[in-house]
Chain A
Amino acid sequence: MADGALVEIADLTLSYAGVPALRSVTFDVGRGRVTGIVGESGSGKSTLGAAILRLLPPAARVSAGRILFDGRDLLSLSQREMRALRGARISFVSQDPLRALMPTLTIGRQMTEIQFRRGDGARRKRLRAAEMLDRVGVPNPEQRLRAYPHELSGGQRQRVSIAMAMMMQPDLLIADEPTTALDATLEAQIIALLRELQDEAGCAMLFVTHDLGLLPELCDEVVVMESGEVRESGPVERVLTEPVSDYTRMLVRCDPARVGQKTRRLPTRSGNPDVGDVPWLGPPERILRHDPPMLVVEGLDVTFRRRSWLRGALGAQSDFIVQAVKGASFSVAHGETVAIVGESGSGKTTIARSVLALQEPDRGSIGIGGVEVVGRSPRELRPVRRRVAMMFQDPIGSLSPRFTVGSLVTEPMLIHGIPVPDREREAMRLLDLVGLDARFAERYPHELSGGEARRVGVARALSSSPELLVADEPTAGLDLSIQGELLNLLAEIQEQMGLAILIITHNLAVVRHISDRTIVMYRGEFVEEGSTEALFRNPRHEYTRMLLSASRHLQSAARAPADRGNEGAERPLPDP
């Protein structure tokens, strides 16, 4: 093996159709070392990974620089020479496990086809695939080889992707946000698995992420990127504890998991001098305990049935029944924020849908402002709906693309028949409330950034002057600095308007800062409920402890080789 770093990127400058994406990027990836690339969306971090593989979109142009891989400049190689490196010396794991595998071929077929360079027979290749699946902790590998990707869960699919990449025994593994689409517990398992496999194989890894919390777990060095430029690079501990660039300092400060003190105001990009100075103590006065609660849910049961029409016609039993919510009871007071946390599939979104009367429950009652909503006709529900607002998860997708922001934010008023004498002024008022400039009224949804679209979502939710706000994963997919701004905005509005807020999320760091009370949901049941502070300090249920340890695990300070056990394997989950 030659001396020097495995990958040396020097002065790399790249643009998409004239728009600069990378500017004079320079850094090395040492042999057998793990280099993290961290940055917010649009920083160029994923472009970098694609540039090394030379799998950039056709609009991309490299105007300067070089990428040396083991001493050879990848940018000067022919397509043929490049292809010889892909999947042999460099392999790749992508972000979204649901889109990473060919939907029409079995796992086994895909895992044998990528071994096309190896001379041995089909049986040997299949055996190797099964061994690799076993190694990454996929149960029943033989059976899994015959399955199609859609028959596997997201976590399992990501394990398969990792198995495929590592089976090639690469010198360099590029992992582009491999855990972003996964739950906290799965994320911890996948990170541990990557660490183990990298250690075993001794390969170098380029780990692209937006999550600072993952860096100390996995990386030796880190490169911090912003707007296509490297802001800072160096050993992980040094960069995280003594950042030299303002940008890194901002990133570290904005991570809610790192804000030690439980404050209601999170630090943001523009800064917040109060951070740390305003500890949040005891139940605040904004919660109106003496009033009857805004939302009361009692004994809620929701089941999903799948029934084929033929069987239905013959009067046969349903094909399957999933009990999504079992006996849920809780309340939210005026001015209070309650969070329901749980993994995907735990039933938390079903509760939100029931509260919004979008899902008919089998049993139980839901009272909104003292009015029972279960079993009411859509017509009877209309006055109740006006008092409840929803904030959707997908910020841009939930805004109709052909309307301007100005008409979008005032639309709910028209729907609810609230008289609006001056629609334009009303739009200005709402935009001002969520901290958006009046200019935004003329824009269309596709002209908004993720953070701006969420603000529009908040304005839209507030326009019918609701008393209860239901927010489904309000911060999913947002960069940390913007996430802080949004949460601060919600807190501010709550104080002004005395809103009751129900938040549905799997992000524990967010919950800790925004919610007064927290409910932990697991497989359709409430396993624990209490004040957020108490729950975080002293979790009682085993599952809560597991959730907390998974998220704390990722925040632990440095990478300690000693605790590298077999953490990557799938752990059995406790019974609720």
Chain B
Amino acid sequence: MLAFALRRSLLGLLVVLLAVTTLYCLVHAAPGNPIDILLGPRGSPAMKAALEARLGLDQPLPVQILKFLGSLLEGELGIDIKSRRPVADLVLERLPKTIALLIASLFVAAAFGIPLGCFAATHRGSAADRVVGVASVSVISIPPVIIAIYGLLLFAAWLKWLPAVGAGERGDMADQLNHLILPTLAVALNWIGYVARLVRASMLEILNEDYIRNARAFGLGEWKVVYRYALRIAVSPTVTVLGIGVGYMLGSAIFAEIVFARPGIGKLIYDALLVRNYPVIMGSVLASTVILVVATTVSDILNALIDPRIREGQES
């Protein structure tokens, strides 16, 4: 098991390295030059050359990439062109807000989606199953931005139940949680429906397996057979999908953070893109890549914990 976790983590690290290199090349190839933006139209060629040398942009691309990777190892992400603050500080400041939003969304998607899917599978063909089915599909088809805007209008502007903007007072846990509710709704609502569909489908398949019938044939209680035996296996594809889903959730989080003016990574990327603030774009995109790689690695390890066959690389 430990070997499996180690192998997966190494693989994850490799993916991050590859992603960083690709990203650097993409940014390099993109039109527009940070030097022009920094110096404005009146910068002289001599000033441009001096700044290029200072930022290390005059060196060949492979050297630039290696230097960037080297500084990464020291926790350096470069300096924000606008505010002159270290990018690492900016990213670390925003990261917890985005991570909190992602974890809350994953939790909500699983906490509502899994029981709903289970219920639908065990009541297959009933009216309740159909209601869950229709509701899931409807919920899946609403774009997160729409949920965010209407959530804001309904719960913050009209009903005034929940705060509209920001991430809450520093140090005030209750206030921060309060500010988390609407963005989480926007990011997670799709996923509740999606997870419910997925769990229902895999539960129906597993409940048909011989080993489930055999467990019943030994007189084991229905609750135990369904929730302890069948669900444990049926939840495996959901874990994988949620792991990959973190990437999509990051996308939704950008919208949610913009609509609710929540100072997270998504908002940081958006603001930096508007002014071609390359170091900040690099730093924040790198942070989201790491989040995604960590999420998929964790989901792989969770699946290996659930199913011993995965640990040994067998097909399940």
Question: Chain A residues in contact with chain B, CB under 8 A?
Answer: 50, 53, 55, 58, 79, 83-88, 90-92, 94-96, 99-105, 113-114, 116-117, 148, 150, 161, 164, 168, 310
Residue B307 at the A interface, CB < 8 A? yes
CB distance from A17 to the nearest CB of B (A): 12
Q: Are A92 and B214 within 8 A (Cβ)? A: yes
Q: A104-B233, A104-B306 are in contact. Are A114 and B209 (CB under 8 A)?
A: no
Q: Are A88 and B219 within 8 A (Cβ)? A: yes
Task: From B217, B220, B222, B232, give the contact of A92 (CB < 8 A).
Answer: B217
Q: At the interface with chain A, which of B33-41, B237-245, B308-316?
A: B308-316
Task: From A150, A161, A168, give the contact of B314 (CB < 8 A).
Answer: A150
Residues facing A in B192-248 (CB within 8 A) are 209-211, 213-222, 229, 232-233
Q: Are B220 and A116 within 8 A (Cβ)? A: yes
CB distance from A371 to the nearest CB of B (A): 36
Task: From A95, A96, A103, A168, give the contact of B218 (CB < 8 A).
Answer: A168
A residues near B124, Cβ cutoff 8 Å: 58
Q: Are A87 and B217 within 8 A (Cβ)? A: yes
Q: Are A114 and B220 within 8 A (Cβ)? A: yes
Q: Are B214 and A100 within 8 A (Cβ)? A: yes
Q: A148-B308, A150-B309, A150-B314 are in contact. Are A101 and B217 (CB under 8 A)?
A: no
Q: A99-B210, A103-B309 are in contact. Are A164 and B218 (CB under 8 A)?
A: yes
A residues near B312, Cβ cutoff 8 Å: 150
Q: How far is the CA of A156 from the CA of B151 in the complex (A)?
A: 58
Q: How far is the CA of A92 from the CA of B316 in the complex (A)?
A: 25
Q: How far is the CA of A96 from the CA of B209 in the complex (A)?
A: 11
A residues near B218, Cβ cutoff 8 Å: 86-87, 91-92, 114, 164, 168
Which of A90, A102, A113 has the largest number of chain B CB atoms within 10 A?
A: A102
CB distance from B51 to the nearest CB of A (A): 42
Number of interface residues of B (CB under 8 A): 25
Q: How far is the CA of A435 from the CA of B117 in the complex (A)?
A: 48
A residues near B216, Cβ cutoff 8 Å: 55, 86
Give the tally of cross-chain contacts (CB within 8 A): 70
A residues near B221, Cβ cutoff 8 Å: 83
Instruction: List 13 other contacts, CB 8 Å, given A100-B210, A103-B316.
Output: A58-B124, A79-B222, A85-B219, A86-B219, A88-B219, A94-B214, A99-B210, A102-B211, A103-B307, A104-B307, A116-B220, A148-B308, A164-B218
Q: A84-B219, A86-B216, A86-B217 are in contact. Are A94 and B210 (CB under 8 A)?
A: yes
B residues near A95, Cβ cutoff 8 Å: 210
Q: Are B232 and A96 within 8 A (Cβ)? A: no
Q: How far is the CA of A96 from the CA of B211 in the complex (A)?
A: 10
CB distance from B224 to the nearest CB of A (A): 8
Task: From B7, B211, B214, B217, give the contact of A103 (CB < 8 A).
Answer: B211
Q: Are B213 and A94 within 8 A (Cβ)? A: yes
Q: Are B309 and A148 within 8 A (Cβ)? A: yes
Per-residue A-contact encoding for B277-316, CB less than 8 Å = 1, 0 else: 0000000000000000000000000000011110010101
Q: How far is the CA of A114 from the CA of B306 in the complex (A)?
A: 20
Residues facing A in B33-74 (CB within 8 A) are none
Task: From B7, B209, B217, B307, give the contact of A55 (CB < 8 A).
Answer: B217
CB distance from B315 to the nearest CB of A (A): 10
Q: A99-B211, A100-B214, A103-B211 are in contact. Are A117 and B219 (CB under 8 A)?
A: yes
Q: How far is the CA of A104 from the CA of B306 in the complex (A)?
A: 7
Which of B7, B211, B215, B229 has the largest number of chain A CB atoms within 10 A?
A: B211
Q: How far is the CA of A164 from the CA of B214 in the complex (A)?
A: 10
Q: A83-B221, A86-B216, A168-B218 are in contact. Are A150 and B308 (CB under 8 A)?
A: yes
The 6 closest A-B pairs by CB, nearest first: A87-B218, A87-B219, A86-B219, A92-B217, A99-B210, A114-B218
Sample of 16 A–B contacts (CB below 8 Å):
A55-B216, A85-B219, A86-B217, A92-B217, A94-B213, A95-B210, A99-B210, A99-B211, A101-B211, A101-B214, A103-B307, A105-B229, A117-B219, A150-B309, A150-B312, A150-B314
